[in-house]
A and B are shown apart, each in its own frame.
Chain A
């Protein structure tokens, strides 16, 4: 969107459109009715670092608007601030995302520092990055450091996956998954976790996680000899390139109504922003990666930058919400760890 100078490249334009979804009540109104307003953090167990927008893919649904042309990546100095902040806490999980986070030159350093601090490190991987010639040792590095790989794979068939992520991505994903399997990822008893992420290829909600996981397991093993640990189903957020798709295809209002009509108070009580802190490529703090992409910083007098990281203030902070938050509370709920309920 940025390269095409689309109006939606401006986060203010996305927020304007989200504020004008006809026929749905403001998200805060639903939360009030569910006695969840104001929404507050309940402590932080996930320290999520978005190391930048650089990616080797240009997926049609990407909320980050990531791609090979993006230059915004985290510097070593900011990465060091992240590790310093992390060391001040006992947050158990470090979740590294992007873009393709592995393309950041500081990625491996971040992983090693996280491991040295005794934290569980997660790499949100697009799979195809593992096949790049310059990344030939990456899979081994991840295995050596016992990094959990959470890999995007929207569907177990090529047509749907390629429609969302680009021609040939499915075949590359299978090759990368086999490589991970050979290293022990997804295999019982190795402790090397390989979890897949399914998100719908279109303007509809994801299936029930357990049912879809069974389908993925059967199809990937039967057709491709690939194994994995768990499948996470994630709802597409109505922001970024997915918002652009919704508007261009005439699906925006119907999708927003679907999200609002299936608002689930139980899912709303368990949304991931309540236990996550998200750090942007420039060190700015956010409630989640989606707020980050909408440039919605922490509100209500919370520290704004990782250099000012203050666990006491951040662990009980009030969370900034807008209508895109319906994406996390619809149906069985959605988070970076999949379905909420």
Chain B
């Protein structure tokens, strides 16, 4: 089936480096450092990444971090809670703009 996103394309990510090797290498090295164990565990970072993947709705990231979360020892319960965090933030971000709506309506109304 013809689709805009192809699951197999994730494996081609490194081909981006063909356009600018130096920037790709810097990105890779930064990326690896970000996900290394630090004040947060690798498992916690993978759960954050899963939530962000849903917030930015990146299908590649969702595939990659669903697997990564399992491989860091997380389970469906924890991963579902992480997705709800993304959902709450996205929903809350919409709803909080209701204040802007109220401000505008307040200014226009008698």
Contact = CB atoms under 8 A, between A and B. Distances in A.
B6 to A, nearest CB: 14
A155 interface: yes
A23 to B, nearest CB: 10
Q: Is the interface of A mostly helix, strand, loop or mixed?
A: loop
A211 B75 contact: no
A208 B36 CA distance: 12
B73 interface: yes
23 contacts: A155-B75, A157-B77, A159-B75, A159-B77, A160-B75, A200-B70, A200-B71, A204-B67, A204-B70, A204-B71, A205-B71, A206-B71, A207-B43, A207-B72, A208-B72, A211-B37, A211-B42, A211-B43, A211-B72, A211-B73, A212-B73, A215-B43, A215-B73
Contacts of A270: none
Contacts of B73: 207, 211-212, 215
B28 interface: no
B41 interface: yes
Nearest to A160: B75
Interface string A148-159: 000000010101
A202 interface: yes
Nearest to B66: A204
Interface of B: 37, 41-43, 67, 70-73, 75-77
B76 to A, nearest CB: 8
Contacts of A215: 43, 73
Q: Is the interface of B mostly helix, strand, loop or mixed?
A: helix
B67 A211 contact: no
Interface string A196-216: 000010101111100110010
Contacts of A207: 43, 71-73
User: Interface size class for chain A?
Assistant: 10 to 19
B13 to A, nearest CB: 13
Nearest to A216: B73
B9 to A, nearest CB: 14
Given A159-B77, A208-B72, 16 more contacts: A157-B75, A159-B75, A160-B75, A200-B70, A200-B71, A204-B70, A205-B71, A206-B71, A207-B43, A208-B42, A211-B37, A211-B42, A211-B72, A211-B73, A212-B73, A215-B73
A204 B68 CA distance: 9
Interface in A24-72: none
A211 B43 CA distance: 9
Which 5 A/B pairs are nearest by Cβ-Cβ distance? A207-B73, A204-B70, A212-B73, A205-B71, A207-B72
A157 B70 CA distance: 14
Interface string A175-204: 000000000000000000000000010101
Interface in A196-253: 200, 202, 204-208, 211-212, 215
Contacts of B67: 204
B45 to A, nearest CB: 12
A200 B37 CA distance: 21
A212 B77 CA distance: 17
A211 B41 contact: yes
A206 B72 CA distance: 7
A202 B72 CA distance: 13
Contacts of A160: 75
A160 to B, nearest CB: 6
A159 B75 CA distance: 10
A211 to B, nearest CB: 6
Contacts of A212: 73
Contacts of B71: 200, 204-207
Nearest to A215: B73
Contacts of B72: 207-208, 211
